[in-house]
Structure 1
Amino acid sequence: MKLKNFLIILFLASFFSLKAQKNTDVLMTIGGNPVTVGEFKYIYEKNNGDKADYSEASINEYLDLYKKFKLKVAKAKDMKLDTIQALNDELAGYRTQLANSYLMDKEVMNNLYKELYDRMDHDIDVSHIVVTLPKNPNDSQRKAAEDKINEVYAKLKSGERFEKLAAEYSDDKLSASTGGRIGFFTAMMPNGFYEFENAMYSLPAGQYSEPFTSKLGYHIIKVNGIRPAKGRVEVAQILIRKEATDKTGDEAKTKINEVYTMLNNGADFDEMVAQFSDDKQTKTKGGVLPEFGINQYSKEFEEEAFGLKNVGDYTKPFETNVGWHILKKVKDVKKDNFDIFKRKIEPKLKKDERYEIAQNELIEGIKKDAHYTLNTMVLNEFIDSLDADFYTFKWKPSEAPYMQKPLINFDGGYTKSLSDFAEFCKKNTRIRLKYEDNVPTTEVVNELLNQFSKEEALNYEQQNLEAKYPDFKSLMREYEEGILLFEATKMEVWDKANQDTLGLYQYYENNKNNYTWNKRAKVSKYILHGTDQEKGEEVVKYAEKSDPESVVKEFGKDFIEVIPVEYDLNSNELYGVVKEKDAVSNLKVDKPSGLMMFKKIEEILPSRRKTLEESRGYVIADYQSYLEDKWVRQLKNDFNVEVNDKVLKQLIKK
C-alpha cells in the first residue's frame, strides 16, 4: 500500500511539473525580445526529428545555435532590413502560397485522411434500395425518382420490411431478388459514392438510412452487419480454364485435382504454375497476382483467398466461372502506417468528390463563425440593372455610385463591395457565357456569387491563420527570420569575404601554413583509340623511356591522346603505380568506352605552400567562417542575452 501511495505521489509530482511549464513561458530574451518555450520546442523538434530527445547535451547544443541565429535576426532588424519593400513582398508572396495550401491541408485533407484511415478498419455488410436516374436527368425525371424513394422511405418508417420493399421498388434487380443485399463493402468507395460510404459507416447494424443520392440515383441502405476489415492479400494461383469442348468441366476438374495431388506429395508450387497454369499473365511470375481487397474478384475466389491463414498455405481446388483454381498465400499485406497512407492516397483524394464536399463544408463553417452576411437589397439592385449584354464578352460593370455599397460582410470589418463582385463577374466570362439569355439572370448571378463568396471566405480565413494555427505562425516566423538572416549574413559575411581583397589577402598571410600541397605527381595520362592490346603494350614499353611528344610522334596522334594532369601522391588515381619518376601503370581497358589507357609519372613534386590563387576557394570559405565568428562575438556584446535557467531545466529530460 505504501508503494502504491508513493507511485501516486510520484506520478502527480511529475504531472504537475510538466503542467507547470507552458509554451508561452519565456526561455530567453535576445536584446529584450522574448523567445518562448513553444518557439524553441517547435524549431528544436523540426530540425532534430527523431534525435530530439530533450537530453541536457542536445538541448544545450541547440540552444547555443539558436542564440546565434536570433542574435543575427536581431541585428537584421536593427539594420532595418525588415522595412525593405522587396523583402516584404517576397514574404507576402510566400505567405499567400503557404496559406492556400495550409488551409486546405489542415482543415480539409487531414480530416479526410483520418476519416478514411479509420473507416478502412471495418467492412460493412450492406443492402440497398436504389432508384436510378438517367445520365442527364431533366427536372421531371429527377422529381419522379425523388418521389419514388420518398414513398419507399415512408413505408419503411411505417414498419414495412426492407427486404420486401427492395424486391418491389429497387431498380437493382440483381440484389432485389435477395432483399437488396449487395454484400460487404469497405472504404474507399468509388468517386460518386461518398454519401453511400458516409451512410454505411454512420449506421449501426440493423438500421436503415434516410434517402441520399449517388452518381447512380437515389438510395436507401440498410447495414446488416459490421466486421473487422479483411484488408488486402497477395496470392499466387494455378488456373485451369474450362475449354469450350469441355461441356461438363470434368476435364479441368480432373487436371486440377492431379495438380493438387502433386502439391500434396511435395511438388513445388512455382513449378506447377509454370507447367500447368492457364493464366498467361502470371504463368512466368510464379502465379502471383497483384495484391487486392474485397469486391475485386468473385465471391468464391475472395472467400478462398482471404481464408488462407499462413504464408505458404494453399487451398483445395475450387471452381469459379473462369475455371478451376488453387491459391497459395504469398504474403499478408499490412495496413500502411498513417504517414505512408497519406502520401499514397493524397492524389486520389483530391480527385474525389469528397474533397470538394469537404471544401464546401469548410467554407460554410468559416462563414458561420465569421457571421457572414449578404446585402440582398444591393444584390437585387445589381440584378435589376443587368441586360442581355451580361451574357456576352462586351459586358462591363456600371460605374454608378451604388456599386460602392457593401455586398458581403465578415467579422472584423472584412467587407467586399458590389463593385468587387462586378469585377469578379467580368473576369469570369466562362460562367456567364455558358448560359443563354433566356436563363433567369438571378440564376447566373447566384452561381457567380457562390464562387465569389467562397473565394472571399478563404481570403478572410487566411488573414487569421496566425491567430488560429500556432504552427502556421511558427512557419511564417521561421521564413521571415530566414529571409532576414540571409540578407544580414550576405552583407556582413559573404559579400565582405568576396569583395574585401585586402582583408582576404591579410587573412591568407596570417594563415598561409594551413594551405599546402602534399607531395604530388605530374602525370601523363595516355588514352589509346583502339582495341589492339598488343599494340597497346608496345606503346607502354615505348613510353617508359620516352617523353609524350616522342610517343605521339611514333604512334600517331590519331591513335594516342596525352592529357597532362597532377595528382596527390596518395590519390586513388595512382593506385598500383610505384610512386617514383618514370613509373608506368598497367594498361587498362575502360569498359564503357572500350578505350585503352595508362598513366606515367613524369615528375614528383615536393610538398609546398599554396599560393592565394591556388587556394582561393578554401581561403574565402575560411575567411567567411572567421568573419562570422567575429560578427557573432560582436553581436553578443551589442545585444544582451538572458536565459531563464529555471525554464531551461524544465525542458531537459533527465
Structure 2
Amino acid sequence: MKLKKVLLGISLCVSALSFAQQTKKEVLFTINENPYYTDEFVRVYNKNLDLVKDDSQKDLDNYLNLFIGYKLKVNRAYELGLQDNRKYQLELKNYREQLSKNYHLDKEVTDELVEEAYNRLQKEVKASHILFKLDENALPADTLRVYNKAMEIRAKALAGEDFGKLAQQYSEDIPAAKTDKGELGYFSAFRMVYPFETGAYTTPKGEVSMPIRSRFGYHIIKVEDVRQNRGDIIVAHIMLLKSKDNASEEEKAKVKTRAEEIYQKLRQGEDFGELAKQFSQDGYTATKGGVLEKFSSGSLSSEEFENRAFALEVPGDYTEPFETQYGWHIVKLVKKFPLLTFEESKEDLEARVAKDDRSSVIAEAMTEKLKKKYPMDTDKKMYSKVLTAVNDSYYVTDWKLPESADNFNKTLLTINNDKEIKAWDFLEYINKEQKGGIKAKPLNRLVSILYEKFSNEKLNEYYDENLENEFPEFAGVMQEYKDGLLLFDLMEKEIWDKAKKDTIGLRNYYNAHLNEYRWGNRVNAEVISSTDKKTIEKARKLLKKGKDIAFIKEELNTNGKINVIERSGVFAQDDEMLPVLDKWETGISDVVSKGDYYYVIKVNKILPATTKTLDECRGRVVNDYQQYLESTWVDTLKKEFTVKINKDVFEKIKKQLNQ
C-alpha cells in the first residue's frame, strides 16, 4: 500500500520541518494505554501530504485510520521483540550517524568554503612543488629548522636556478620528484590537500610560493600556468596495449598498424562501440563499447590522453590513433559537461567539502562553537596524576596502563555541568593513541596534545548524544526511521515470508483468482532483424528455402561484421519488442519494419489465450497474496490491541488542518 512506501521512504536529507499551524501537544489516541500525540500526527501528515497521490489518504479520517494501522504494526513489532535484533540496532545506529552529520557542520564556515571551492573550480592550475617533510606535532625548533631550509631553497629558485633540478635535488617527495622533477600537471579544487591547494591558487602565475604547511610538511610551489577549467567529459576509447620494452621493432610496428586498421574501419562507417568490443584491450571498458567514466583535467595519469580528448568538439568525433605510455588509443567524444552554475553545483560541493581536508576546518569551527555553548571544566589534580602515569616508554609504543584503575576512577573532565568523564577514560585513550604516531616531546607537551584531542572528541560526543533534545526535527525523523525499520522487519516476518512459504494458502488464492492470470495470444517464433532491408530480404529467401538460423547467420554475418541478429522463443503478439503484423499465422512473414530495423518472422506455432499455470505467474501471485494478507492484517491487530481515540482532540486537529 502507498502509506507503507511513504513511511519507509524517509529521506537522508535533513530539512527544517515547517507547518502552517502550530499544534499543542495532546494525546490523540492510545494503543494498550501507550499514548500517541497530536504533534507527531500533524508532522507526519504535513510531511507526506504532497507525496501521496491517492486523495483518500489526504482525508483526515482515513489518514488517522491508516496512521493507527501503522502504529498497530509497530506495537506488534515491539511485542515480538524485533527492536532487540542486532541487525536492526546496527542499521539504526548507522542511519543516525549519517543523519547527524549535517548537525555537526558550522554552516557559516561551510558556506564560505563551498563558495571558495566553486570559485577555484573555474580555473585549472599547473604547478610543481618541492616537499620538506615534517611531523604534524614537531617541536617548534624542528619546525623552524625545516621552514628555514624551505626558505633557503626558495631563495635559490627566486635567484633563477631551475626549479625542476632543485626538486630533484632537495624534494623529499620520493621517488616521484626524481623522475617528474616535482611536476604535478594541471589540477583544480579538491585534487590536492587543502593547504597545498590554497597555496597553489593564491600564488601568481610564474612565481614561487612562500613555504606552505600541510600534514606532510612544508611545500614550496611554483605555479607554471593557469587556464579556464575545461569541465568534465565522457569519451569512449579503443586501446591497444603497448608492446613490452624488450619487444622487437616489428612487434611494436604491428600494434601501430592494428590501430591504423581500426581507424580505417571507423572511417568506412563501422560502429565505434562494436569495434571497441572486438578489438580494445582495455578489459574494463571494452564490453561497454569503450566508454570511460566521466573525468576532468588531472583525473587520468596521461596528460596526452586528456588533451586529445578535450580537443574533440562535436559528440561522435574521434581522434586519429595516438600513442601514450600505455599504448595506442583512438578516442571518441561522447559528451562534454561545462561547469555548472553555483546553484546547480552547491549540493555536490557541500558533500565534497564534508569529505575533503576542508572538513577539518569545519570541525575546528564547530568545536569552538561548542566550547562556548557547553562549558568544560578540568580537575587539575587528576590531570597531574594522569601526567605522572605516563613515561618515556610511550615513545617506543611500550607504555602500559597502570595496573589498577582505582586511583583514576575519579572525574577528570566535566561537560556542561552534566556529563562527567573519568581520568581512567583518558588513560585508555592515551593507550589507544600510542600507535597513532604522535611523538611530541617533552611528555607534558605530548599529554597536552592528546588531552586537547580527547576533550574535543568528548565535547562533540556530548553534543551528538543530545541532538534529539536540541533539535525536535531530528528527533522526529529518527522516530520515523525507527518505526519504519521495525515495520519492514515485521512485514518480512509476518507477510512477505508467509506468502512465499504458505503453499496451500497461495494455491487457494490462485484458484480463486484464475481470471486475473491469463496469457494473451502468443506465438512460438524465430525473429531475425537488421538495419539493412536488403539483408533481411536475403534472410527471408533463405528461410523460404528451408535454411536454419545457424546457416543464415553464417551466410550473412561475414568479415567480422554482424549484419543480422536472431531471437527465438515464445512471444506475446503485442510484445513491444516485435513489429506489428496485420495477421499472425504460421509460416514466414513478409519483411516488416519498426523504427530503424527491418524484420522477418518465422512463426512456428500460434498459441491461443489461456490461463497461466501457477508456476508461470508465481511471482505476481505471491505479490497479490501478500497484498491480500496485508489488507486483512490490520483488522486482526485491532482485535488484539485496545485502541482508544480522543475524538475531541481529533476534531480540533481537523479544524486546524482544514483551515
TM-score range, shorter chain: 0.5 to 0.7
Q: Does 1:384 align with 2:388?
A: yes
Q: Which residue of 1 aligns with 2:103?
A: 106
2:488 to 486, 489, 493: 486
1:602 to 584, 604, 625: 604
Please list the CA deviations of residues 442-462 of structure 1 after superposition, one character each: whole Å capped at 9, or x if unmatched.
Answer: 111000000111111111222
Shift of 1:625: 0.6
Q: Which residue of 1 aligns with 2:69?
A: 68
Q: Does 1:402 align with 2:398?
A: no
Q: Which residue of 1 aligns with 2:650?
A: 645
Asked if the contact 2:429–2:454 (Cα under 8 Å) also holds between the matched residues in 1, the reply is yes
Taking structure 1 as the reference length, the TM-score comes to 0.56
Aligned residue type for 1:598: V
Q: Distance in 2 between matches of 1:140 and 1:88?
A: 50
Q: Aligned in 2, Cα 1:497/1:533: closer, same or farther, shift over 3 Å?
A: closer
Aligned residue type for 2:74: V
Q: Distance in 2 between matches of 1:334 and 1:79?
A: 51
What value does the CA root-mean-square deviation take over the aligned residues? Answer: 5.1
Shift of 1:477: 1.0
Segments of 5+ residues of structure 2 without an aligned counterpart are 1-18, 118-131, 145-192, 197-209, 214-308, 315-338, 557-564
Asked if the contact 1:392–1:432 (Cα under 8 Å) also holds between the matched residues in 2, the reply is no
Please list the CA deviations of residues 33-80 of structure 1 after superposition, one character each: whole Å capped at 9, or x if unmatched.
Answer: 443343234334444558899999465565444333222112212333
Q: Distance in 2 between matches of 1:462 and 1:356?
A: 17
Asked if the contact 2:412–2:423 (Cα under 8 Å) also holds between the matched residues in 1, the reply is yes
Asked if the contact 1:54–1:653 (Cα under 8 Å) also holds between the matched residues in 2, the reply is no
Q: Does 1:538 align with 2:534?
A: no
Shift of 1:598: 2.7
Q: Distance in 2 between matches of 1:568 and 1:50?
A: 35
Q: Which residue of 2 aligns with 1:265?
A: none
Q: Distance in 1 between matches of 2:503 and 2:611?
A: 20
1:552 to 548, 552, 561: 548
Shift of 1:527: 7.2
Q: Distance in 1 between matches of 2:418 and 2:635?
A: 47
Shift of 1:370: 4.1
Q: Aligned in 2, Cα 1:340/1:55: closer, same or farther, shift over 3 Å?
A: farther
Larger radius of gyration: 1
Q: Distance in 2 between matches of 1:399 and 1:498?
A: 58
Asked if the contact 2:367–2:456 (Cα under 8 Å) also holds between the matched residues in 1, the reply is yes
Q: Which residue of 2 aligns with 1:328?
A: none
Shift of 1:622: 0.8
Q: Which residue of 1 aligns with 2:419?
A: 414
Instruction: Give the secondary structure class of the aligned counterpart of 1:373.
Output: strand
Asked if the contact 2:526–2:603 (Cα under 8 Å) also holds between the matched residues in 1, the reply is yes
Shift of 1:112: 3.2
Instruction: Give the secondary structure class of the aligned counterpart of 2:494.
Output: helix
Q: Distance in 1 between matches of 2:528 and 2:362?
A: 68
Aligned residue type for 2:600: F
Q: Which residue of 1 aligns with 2:625?
A: 623
Instruction: Give the secondary structure class of the aligned counterpart of 1:106.
Output: helix
Taking structure 2 as the reference length, the TM-score comes to 0.55
Please list the CA deviations of residues 592-637 of structure 1 after superposition, one character each: whole Å capped at 9, or x if unmatched.
Answer: 9x9x863222222222211211221111111101111111221233
Shift of 1:494: 0.7
Q: Distance in 2 between matches of 1:459 and 1:349?
A: 18
Shift of 1:475: 2.2
Asked if the contact 1:23–1:39 (Cα under 8 Å) also holds between the matched residues in 2, the reply is no
Shift of 1:119: 11
Q: Does 1:347 align with 2:352?
A: yes
Q: Which residue of 1 aligns with 2:25?
A: 24
Asked if the contact 2:579–2:592 (Cα under 8 Å) also holds between the matched residues in 1, the reply is no
Aligned residue type for 1:69: Y
Instruction: Give the secondary structure class of the aligned counterpart of 1:652.
Output: helix
Instruction: Give the secondary structure class of the aligned counterpart of 1:22.
Output: coil
Shift of 1:582: 2.0
1:514 to 513, 516, 519: 516
Instruction: Give the secondary structure class of the aligned counterpart of 2:613.
Output: coil
Shift of 1:86: 4.5
Aligned residue type for 2:439: K
2:502 to 500, 503, 510: 500
Q: Does 1:579 align with 2:583?
A: yes
Aligned residue type for 1:539: L
Please list the CA deviations of residues 97-134 of structure 1 after superposition, one character each: whole Å capped at 9, or x if unmatched.
Answer: 23xx62x52252434356779999xxxxxxxxxxxxxx
Q: Which residue of 1 aligns with 2:121?
A: none
Instruction: Give the secondary structure class of the aligned counterpart of 1:615.
Output: helix
Segments of 5+ residues of structure 1 without an aligned counterpart are 1-17, 121-134, 144-189, 194-213, 218-280, 287-332, 544-550
Q: Distance in 2 between matches of 1:477 and 1:501?
A: 36
Q: Aligned in 2, Cα 1:600/1:64: closer, same or farther, shift over 3 Å?
A: farther
1:372 to 359, 376, 379: 376
Aligned residue type for 1:490: E
Shift of 1:399: 1.9
Please list the CA deviations of residues 277-325 of structure 1 after superposition, one character each: whole Å capped at 9, or x if unmatched.
Answer: xxxx999999xxxxxxxxxxxxxxxxxxxxxxxxxxxxxxxxxxxxxxx
Aligned residue type for 1:363: T
Q: Distance in 1 between matches of 2:340 and 2:531?
A: 56
Counting matched residue pairs gives 440
Q: Distance in 1 between matches of 2:360 and 2:655?
A: 45
Q: Which residue of 2 aligns with 1:464?
A: 466
Show the 5 A alignment for 1:84-95.
84-95=85-96
Q: Distance in 2 between matches of 1:361 and 1:284?
A: 44
Q: Distance in 1 between matches of 2:416 and 2:42?
A: 33
Shift of 1:534: 5.9
Asked if the contact 1:529–1:558 (Cα under 8 Å) also holds between the matched residues in 2, the reply is no
Asked if the contact 2:496–2:626 (Cα under 8 Å) also holds between the matched residues in 1, the reply is yes
Q: Distance in 2 between matches of 1:284 and 1:40?
A: 57
Asked if the contact 2:523–2:603 (Cα under 8 Å) also holds between the matched residues in 1, the reply is yes
Q: Which residue of 1 aligns with 2:428?
A: 423
Please list the CA deviations of residues 137-195 of structure 1 after superposition, one character each: whole Å capped at 9, or x if unmatched.
Answer: 9979999xxxxxxxxxxxxxxxxxxxxxxxxxxxxxxxxxxxxxxxxxxxxxx9779xx
Moved more, 532-541 or 490-499: 532-541
Q: Distance in 2 between matches of 1:453 and 1:82?
A: 33
Asked if the contact 2:522–2:570 (Cα under 8 Å) also holds between the matched residues in 1, the reply is yes
Aligned-pair identity in percent equals: 26
Instruction: Give the secondary structure class of the aligned counterpart of 2:604.
Output: strand
Q: Aligned in 2, Cα 1:53/1:416: closer, same or farther, shift over 3 Å?
A: farther
Q: Distance in 2 between matches of 1:505 and 1:473?
A: 45
Aligned residue type for 1:375: D
Aligned residue type for 1:382: V
Q: Aligned in 2, Cα 1:21/1:433: closer, same or farther, shift over 3 Å?
A: closer
